[in-house]
Amino acid sequence: MSALDYSIVAVYLLGLLAMGLALRHQKNRDDYFLGGRSLPWPALSLSVMATQLSAVSFISAPAFVGLREGGGLIWLSYELALPIAVALMLWRLLPSLHASGVVSVYDYLERRFSRSTRLLISFVFQLSRSVATAIMIYAISLILQGTMGLEQWHSIVLIGVITLIYSALGGMKAVVWGDAVQMILIFVGALTCLWVALDHIGGVEKALMLIEPQRLVAVKPDQFGFSGNDFGLLPMLFGGLVLYASYYGCDQSEAQRSLSAHNLSDLRKMMLTVAVCRFPITLVYCAAGLIIGALVMTTPSLQAQIPADNPDWMMPIFIINYLPSGIIGLLVVAIMAAAMSSLSSAVNSLAAVSVEDICRLFKHQPSNDAYLKYARLAGIGWGLITLFLSLVAGDIAPTIIEAINKIGSVFYGPVLAIFLLGIYSKKIASVAANTGLAAGVLVNMSLWLFNSPIFWFWWNLIGFVTTISVGLLMTVFTKPTSSHQPSVRLLKLSNVLILVALSVLLTLFCFFLPDILTA
């Protein structure tokens, strides 16, 4: 990297600090954790996408598509269930949570069921989110080590300290506006890499001649996920539906954006934008991976720089070798931006859940000033824990990354089921809900511990169905838990049908994509 590149990185980091300083004035918890519900829905939409389309996606998705054995455009099948999941969330789940006025989505479970339900799910969230974020920071520190020449701990401290300062000062407003900028940088970075790679390889037709035909396959309708991780269409649709609905609707790191929407109309615009825009963005990631992968396979000198056992180095090595000075700085900023987006979102949501849990212990609720002090301290505390975990993640990352994915699938289905039971059923009691939750988790844990050949994507649906079934069965033996359900306006049936049609169209597009590319 040249002096110009380092200058671009420095200006960007100083800009984030300035933004946090400018947005440092908050009056109460809604201001700090929900941005006073005054944030515009376009910024919230970008923030939602930036949190999941993170640095790992920017690095790993192209590597999976372009180089990894068994990879290719099958990565797109992750996106097919998202529009239907958005329809499920907007039908009543997210509007009910928004209308309840909670800061932590898990507060809703205490109001509807019991404190034990909220504490159990919030504990799982805090544990899994902190470890997953730590691994992401560790992975990105290695990338920055290769591109900027920094030591690993220097990279972690650089990312961590800047993120903690601007997110602790600016609260949710700083997180969302930072995410919005970072999402634009990530997308422009991916487009730049795609354009430069196409130019060097000689155009689309030349690239398609070099790409292995099996990498163009985007769906596998003939595989069903009952004998291993085959990425079959059915598990990706049904498991993906539960996974996305639970992640966006019941995971604090994402649902906090929905709670921050000014009103129900803005909430719907935000989620509909996510449903429409995520697939094109992911498609650009995948296209960049295909083209750069083809370039790597036909350029021995480039291939030699990428470790055979770690294709994730493909994007950073390409950036350093093929992009001009100045553009390299922007792309490094894009990588850092993606990492900071995930870290700031995780820290803010972890702090929200922790502070709400702690405040339940007080006989009298703290003043606004005291609450904001606790919120900032909790954010800094979780940030330091996450950064510490990232320093030691090198010893656990190879197994924990897979474990985190499986842990998510163990819990996402049961958690979504509990929220939906609470919203749709007036008969379900706290004992029935907790029993159903335990049954769903135990069934999924058994599938994992006994090495079931069932693809872990199915666990999302299995845990969901088990929790619903056991919870409803337990209503025979328990008395209903009374609770007030806020009145919400349901999503129009026409919008639901449009989202379902979008999912069908995306599936058909992916099915015929090999024919389209080779025509």
Give dist(CA 307, CA 395) in Å, integer: 18
Is pLDDT larger for residue 245 or for residue 351? Answer: 245
In a domain, 291, yes or no: yes
Question: What pLDDT is attached to residue 487?
Answer: 65
At a CB cut-off of 8 Å and minimum separation 6, what does 139 contact?
55, 56, 59, 312, 397
Q: Which residue has the higher pLDDT, 152 or 393?
A: 152
- In this predicted structure, the answer to whether residue 411 has a pLDDT above a threshold of 80 is yes
Question: Which of 405, 356, 199, 224 is CA-nearest to residue 292?
Answer: 199
Residue 309 within any structural domain of the chain: yes
The predicted pLDDT at position 512 comes to 92
Q: Which residue has the higher pLDDT, 433 or 159?
A: 433
pLDDT for 36-95, tens place per residue? 788 899 998 888 887 777 666 777 788 888 887 778 898 898 889 999 999 988 888 888
Nearest-angstrom CA–CA distance, 335 and 354: 29
Q: State how far the Cα of 347 lies from the Cα of 382, in Å rounded to an integer.
A: 6
Maximum alpha-carbon separation in the chain: 71
Higher pLDDT, 403 or 29: 29
From CA 262, how far away is CA 408, in angstroms rounded?
30
pLDDT score, position 416:
92
> Are 461 and 444 contacting, i.e. CB atoms less than 8 angstroms apart?
no
Torsion of CA 111, 343, 416, 100, to 10 degrees: 30
Residue with tokens 């490094």: 332
Look at residue 272 and tell me if it is in a domain.
yes
How much is the average pLDDT of 444-461? 88
Query: How far apart are alpha carbons 278 and 75 in whole angstroms?
Result: 13
Q: Is the pLDDT of residue 400 over 50?
A: no
Mean pLDDT of 284-311: 86
Structure-derived torsion over alpha carbons of residues 80, 81, 82, 83, reported in degrees to the nearest 10:
90
How many CB atoms lie under 10 A from the CB of residue 362? 9
**Containing H/E element for 144?**
helix 115-148
- List the beta strands (DSSP E) in 281-427: none
What's the confidence (pLDDT) of residue 242? 93
Distance in angstroms (rounded) separating the CA atoms of residues 102 and 331: 38
Q: Which domain holds residue 237?
A: 3-483+493-518
DSSP 312: G
Assess if residue 142 is contained within a domain: yes
Among residues 174, 165, 153, 172, the alpha carbon closest in space to that of 387 is found at 153
pLDDT tens digits along 14-35: 887 787 777 777 777 777 778 8
Distance separating alpha carbons of residues 239 and 64, to the nearest angstrom: 21
303: confidence class by pLDDT, cuts 50, 70, 90: confident
**Cα atoms in the Cβ-side hemisphere of radius 13 Å centred on 302:** 22
> In this predicted model, which residue has the larger pLDDT, 338 or 402?
338
What is the enclosing helix (H) or strand (E) of 265? helix 264-297
Q: Where are the alpha helices (DSSP H) in 35-114?
A: 41-52, 55-66, 82-88, 94-100, 105-112
Mean pLDDT of 94-113: 84
Please report the pLDDT score of residue 401 as a whole number: 44
Task: Let me know: does 390 contact 406? Beta carbons within 8 Å.
Answer: no
**Between residues 274 and 13, the one the model is more confident about:** 274
Q: What is the pLDDT of residues 312-327, one digit of tens each?
A: 788 888 888 888 888 8
Q: What does the mean pLDDT of the chain come to?
A: 81
pLDDT at residue 509 in the model: 93
Question: What CATH number is given to the structural domain containing 126?
Answer: 1.20.1730.10
The predicted pLDDT at position 85 comes to 93
How far, in Å, CA of 286 to CA of 261, rounded?
Answer: 31
* 3-state class (DSSP) for residue 306: coil
Please indicate, yes or no, if residue 488 is contained in any of the structural domains.
Answer: no
Predicted local confidence at residue 129, as pLDDT: 77
Distances (CA, A) of 11 to 6, 14, 330, 331: 9, 5, 11, 14
How many distinct structural domains can be found in the chain? 1
410-422 average pLDDT score: 89
pLDDT at 387 over 90: no
**Does residue 461 surpass a pLDDT of 90?**
yes
Q: Which residues of 319-332 are buried (b: 16+ CB within 10 A; e: fewer)?
A: bbebbeeebbbbbb
Q: How far apart are CA 215 and CA 162, in angstroms?
A: 39
Please check the confidence at residue 96 and state whether its pLDDT lies above 80. Answer: yes
**What's the pLDDT at 467?**
94
CA–CA distance, 226 with 232 (Å, rounded to integer): 9
pLDDT at position 146 is 65
Contacts of 293 (CB under 8 A, 6+ apart): 62, 63, 65, 66, 67, 211, 215, 314
Tell me, what's the pLDDT at 404?
60
Residues 39, 408: Cα–Cα separation, whole Å: 29
Residue 440 is predicted with a pLDDT of: 92
Task: Provide, rounded to the nearest whole percent, the portion of the chain with pLDDT above 70.
Answer: 89
How many whole angstroms separate alpha carbon 508 and alpha carbon 446?
Answer: 35
Determine how many CB atoms are found less than 10 A away from the CB of residue 489. Answer: 11
Given a cut of 80, whether residue 143 has pLDDT beyond it is no
Averaged pLDDT for residues 337-346: 73
pLDDT at 125 over 90: no
